[in-house]
């Protein structure tokens, strides 16, 4: 519903479809105005299937049915309900501003407590610094560099990036930095955070 609402507000999007292997999700998408003109084949329905394979399948299916080719693909996953139409437009504009750009990935700054130099791991049963230089960090002010995590708001790809490279992050990927609270739903707690936001 959230994805459909945002896409519905983007009158510049030529086609929007839902890719699913489940009739219940198909019905839910159609209830909110997003067509689901096909079900994914069995080989793209299990846990082994990659998201890129499913998006490529959707692109080829839509292009075949409409007899047209699309230059840009937006991946708008339902797990990030805090997106806004302006986010999709910003990602697309960033992609189209430079012909050499293959893709744009929306990201959020990570908090200092998750900085790579503060990460720990267990090796041979002992707690150790993930990066050796982490042992010298005694204050947050010593942490340098900006780090980001994907937030699931949007991926914008040129067709060639999806079809020819079957990748999202390439040597020509730009970030769309979104610096507001967002939820990227992977767990029940993430869902509660999304409801709170």
pTM (2 decimals)?
Answer: 0.89
Quote the CA–CA distance of 196 and 52 in Å, as a whole number.
31
pLDDT at 119: 82
- Render pLDDT for 2-14 as a digit per residue (tens, 0 to 9): 999 999 999 999 9
User: What is the predicted pLDDT for the residue at 113?
Assistant: 75
pLDDT, average across residues 18-44: 93
135-175: per-residue pLDDT in tens? Answer: 777 666 666 668 899 999 999 999 999 998 878 999 999 99
Place of tokens 């292009």: 63
Report residue 151 as tokens.
């937030």
Number of H helices, E strands in the chain: 6, 6
Give the model's confidence band at 133: pLDDT under 50 very low, under 70 low, under 90 confident, else very high: confident
Task: Give the DSSP letter of residue 154.
Answer: E
Please report, rounded to a whole number, the percentage of residues in the chain having pLDDT higher than 70. 95
Comparing CA positions, the residue from 111, 82, 107, 81 lying closest to residue 94 is: 107
């Amino acid at each position: 519903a959230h994805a459909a609402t945002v896409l519905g507000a983007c009158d510049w999007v030529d086609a929007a479809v839902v890719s699913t292997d489940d009739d219940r999700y198909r019905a839910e998408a159609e209830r909110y105005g997003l067509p689901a003109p096909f079900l994914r084949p069995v080989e793209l329905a299990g846990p082994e299937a990659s998201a890129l394979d499913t998006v490529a399948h959707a692109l080829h299916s839509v292009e075949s049915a409409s007899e047209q080719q699309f230059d840009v693909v937006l991946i708008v996953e339902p797990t990030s309900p805090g997106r806004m139409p302006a986010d999709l437009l910003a990602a697309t504009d960033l992609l189209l501003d430079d012909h050499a750009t293959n893709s744009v990935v929306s990201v959020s700054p990570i908090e200092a407590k998750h900085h790579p130099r503060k990460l720990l791991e267990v090796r041979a049963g002992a707690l150790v610094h993930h990066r050796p230089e982490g042992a010298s960090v005694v204050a947050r002010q010593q942490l340098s560099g900006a780090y980001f995590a994907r937030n699931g708001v949007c991926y914008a790809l040129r067709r060639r990036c999806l079809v020819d490279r079957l990748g999202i992050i390439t040597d020509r990927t730009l970030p769309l930095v979104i610096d507001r609270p967002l939820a990227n739903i992977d767990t029940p707690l993430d869902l509660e955070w999304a409801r709170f936001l």
